[in-house]
Amino acid sequence: MSGAAIHASSWAAALVRISPYTFSAIGIAISIGVSVLGAAWGIYITGSSLIGAAIEAPRITSKNLISVIFCEAVAIYGVIVAIILQTKLESVPSSKMYDAESLRAGYAIFASGIIVGFANLVCGLCVGIIGSSCALSDAQNSTLFVKILVIEIFGSALGLFGVIVGIIMSAQATWPTK
């Protein structure tokens, strides 16, 4: 059924003949790799401002490590989802590898990886930039810290949305039974 409506040498046929395991593997790699990219980017944005501001105002260091922890959480989401996704991989006999249901499972894992990876990328960036401004404002006026922290909490919720949708998506990854 899968090859009936498609001409044997069109691009669509070529795409459909890529192994679903390729897509799954790329999805898992993106989920962890791009999440860690976002977390690292956020941490250096916050960290450089925090170090400089702490010279004149050493009291800010312990409180402002929360910003770094929020960025780190983003990387942890990526690791958790990558582990969940890799448990969804199953062996399928070669006769069924290009069935619609196999392809669906492969695409589901790919999509889940992309969702989580890019949501965590932008979440890490967001939390990093806010964390940098938070450190600088706290150094000038310590009453501002808690209010800016609320903004950061909303920012880190973005990564959580990505993880939730990614996990729901990965539940779609049902391979055909033998």
Partner 1 sequence: MYGFEALTFNIHGGYLEAIVRGHRAGLLTTADYNNLCQCENLDDIKMHLSATKYGSYLQNEPSPLHTTTIVEKCTLKLVDDYKHMLCQATEPMSTFLEYIRYGHMIDNVVLIVTGTLHERDVQELLEKCHPLGMFDSIATLAVAQNMRELYRLVLVDTPLAPYFSECLTSEDLDDMNIEIMRNTLYKAYLEDFYKFCQKIGGATSEIMSDLLAFEADRRAVNITINSIGTELTREDRKKLYSNFGLLYPYGHEELAICEDIDQVRGVMEKYPPYQAIFSKMSYGESQMLDKAFYEEEVRRLCLAFEQQFHYAVFFAYMRLREQEIRNLMWISECVAQNQKSRIHDSVVYMF
Residues within the interface to partner 1 (CB under 8 A): 41, 44-45, 48-53, 55-57, 125, 129, 132-133, 135-136, 139-140
Task: With CA atoms as reference, report the closest residue to 123 among 166, 172, 63.
Answer: 166
Give the shortest CB-150-to-partner 1 separation in angstroms: 19
- Cβ proximity to partner 1: between 86 and 137 the closer is 137
Task: With CA atoms as reference, report the closest residue to 60 among 128, 134, 139.
Answer: 139
- Cβ proximity to partner 1: between 75 and 134 the closer is 134
Residues 36/122, Cβ–Cβ less than 8 Å: no
Give the shortest CB-31-to-partner 1 separation in angstroms: 22
Give the shortest CB-46-to-partner 1 separation in angstroms: 8
Distance CA 103, CA 86 (A): 16
- Cβ proximity to partner 1: between 133 and 172 the closer is 133
Contacts of 86 by beta carbon, 8 Å cutoff, 6+ apart: 28
